[in-house]
Amino acid sequence: MNDIITTACKFVTSSIGRKILVALTGACLLLFLVGHLAGNMTIFGGDVAAGDRSWIDFYATGLHSMPAWLLWSIRLGLLAVALVHIVLALVLKYENYNARTHYQKEGTLKATLSSRTMVLTGLMVFCFIVFHLWQLTFNGDPANCYQHILHAFQQPVCSIFYIIAILCLMMHVRHGLQSVLQTVGLSTRKVRPLYNIVSWAFAIVVCGAFISIPVCVMLGILK
């Protein structure tokens, strides 16, 4: 038992161990993103569908009518995953900053913009999530979800903020997905180009679908 604890301690303080933790929590967050998107897409069911309620209202009340212990364990679990992801990533970044001495003339051969701005786009997404929770989760009425979202996105400032934040998320996810696969050791020369394509496709499809909501509201397609 002592061996296990000693090794576990060494693992979570090593560079690779912490990277693997960031990767695995990142993978959980990617899965959450897919689930969240699936729920969001019910908004395209229109205003009044299931009886006298729109699909998204139905979905939102469904989520809120979960037993409190289940709802809160999911929420706290997500919070814990996000905190591990953010805190470890920042610690690693801090170490990386200290490990460097800077060039007078910087040059880059291959590193993409999204890969070099992970912390920046990640923090943007974090700020967005805080605002998003405040605006729609804690100040929303699940029974009136459709109108609430419509009202929010009819303000161009709000819509544009959402679109910019999701574009940051897209950059983050583009590098993040293939980075997860590399860090957990699932990458080889043969499949890496494929992973790159899959990461691009995932980022474009998922983030494009998220963006489609404020865009459709602004264009008057959803009303």
Q: Could you tell me which of 19, 14, 168, 12 has the C-alpha nearest to residue 85?
A: 19
- The contacts of residue 137 (CB under 8 Å, 6+ apart) are none
Of 75, 99, 97, 79, the residue nearest 87 (C-alpha): 79
Closest CA to 135 of 154, 156, 165, 158: 158
Minimum separation from the CB atom of position 128 to other proteins (A): 22
Distance in Å, CB of 27 to other proteins, minimum: 14
Q: Which is nearer to other proteins, 93 or 223 (by Cβ)?
A: 93
CA-to-CA distance for 98 and 57, rounded, in angstroms? 49
Residue 125 near residue 168 (C-beta atoms within 8 A): yes
State whether residue 53 is helix, strand or coil: strand
Least distance in angstroms from the C-beta of 102 to other proteins: 7
Find the DSSP H helices in the chain. Answer: 2-13, 15-40, 55-64, 68-99, 113-116, 118-132, 145-153, 156-183, 192-218
Q: Contact positions toward other proteins, by CB under 8 A?
A: 3-4, 7-8, 10-11, 14-20, 92, 95-96, 98-112, 115-116, 118, 175, 178-179, 182-189, 192
DSSP states along 142-200: GGGHHHHHHHHHTSHHHHHHHHHHHHHHHHHHHHHHHHHHHHTT---TTTHHHHHHHHH
Least separation, in Å, of the C-beta of 193 and other proteins? 12
Work out how close the CB of 19 gets to other proteins at its nearest, in angstroms, rounded to a whole number. Answer: 6
- For residue 105, the minimal CB distance to other proteins (Å) is 4
